[in-house]
Every structure is written in C-alpha cells, then in structure tokens.
C-alpha cells in the first residue's frame, strides 16, 4: 500500500453542505493507536450533490511509511460545523486507489 516514493492520497465524501464545514479532523488508527492525525481547514469542495462535501488528504513519503501495509486502518472523522461536531469511524483495508465514503452520524 505505502511504498517509498509513492504518492498516496485518500478522498473522503461527507454528508454536509460545504459552507457549513469549518474543519475536519481525520485520525488514522492501527492496533488501537493513532498512527497519523491531520486537521483539514481548507480545500473543501462540493460533492456530487449540494449536501455533500469532498476533500483529499495527501501523504508525504515520510508520513506514508508510518502505516503498516498489511494491517487494517480504522479511520475516524470528526467534522466541526457551524452547528457543532459529528464523528464516525470504520475499519477498512486501505489501498491507493480507494475512494472512501464516510457517513457522519
């Protein structure tokens, strides 16, 4: 999954109107520990519908080497909106080309 020199990014789609999203905190966990956490405050775009927001997280080569390639990731997304915070998490097997859809509850 994460090889030296490789460009790795994940695209997320969350069910919020883009103008309501203040920031998103994405935590990547393996074996119960946070391996990587990133706060996104810009770069949000409207998804296929007005009620969806999409954003992309890109990893540097150094960041990508922190993940164990054969272990599943648990990704937790905390969305901070003008109305408060929402969160969700899900276990996934990662690969470079996956587009992960997250339902925020």
Token couple for 60: 């540097």
Predicted TM-score (pTM) of the model is 0.73
pLDDT at 19: 93
Concatenated DSSP letters of 34-52: EEEEEEE-S--EE-SSTT-
- Residue ranges per structural domain of the chain: 8-101
pLDDT at 2: 47
Which one is the CATH code of 8-101: 2.60.120, 2.60.40, 3.30.70, 1.10.260? 2.60.40
> Smallest Cα–Cα separation from 53: which of 85, 5, 101?
101
Torsional class of 43: left (φ above 0), alpha (ψ -120 to 50), beta (otherwise): left
Reported as a single tens digit per residue, the pLDDT across 22-62 is 998 888 888 888 888 989 999 999 988 998 888 988 777 67
Residue 7, pLDDT > 70, answer no
pLDDT at 91: 53
Distance CA 103, CA 94 (A): 17
């Amino acid at each position: 999954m994460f090889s030296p020199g490789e460009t790795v990014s994940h695209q997320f789609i969350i069910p919020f109107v883009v103008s309501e999203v203040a920031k998103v905190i994405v935590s990547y966990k393996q074996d119960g520990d946070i391996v990587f956490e990133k706060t996104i405050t810009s770069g949000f775009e409207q998804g296929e519908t007005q009620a969806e927001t999409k954003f992309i997280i890109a990893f540097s080569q150094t960041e990508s080497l922190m993940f164990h390639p054969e272990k599943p990731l648990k990704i937790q997304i905390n969305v901070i909106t003008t109305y408060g915070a929402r969160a969700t998490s899900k276990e996934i097997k990662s690969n470079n080309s996956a587009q992960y859809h997250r339902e925020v509850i």
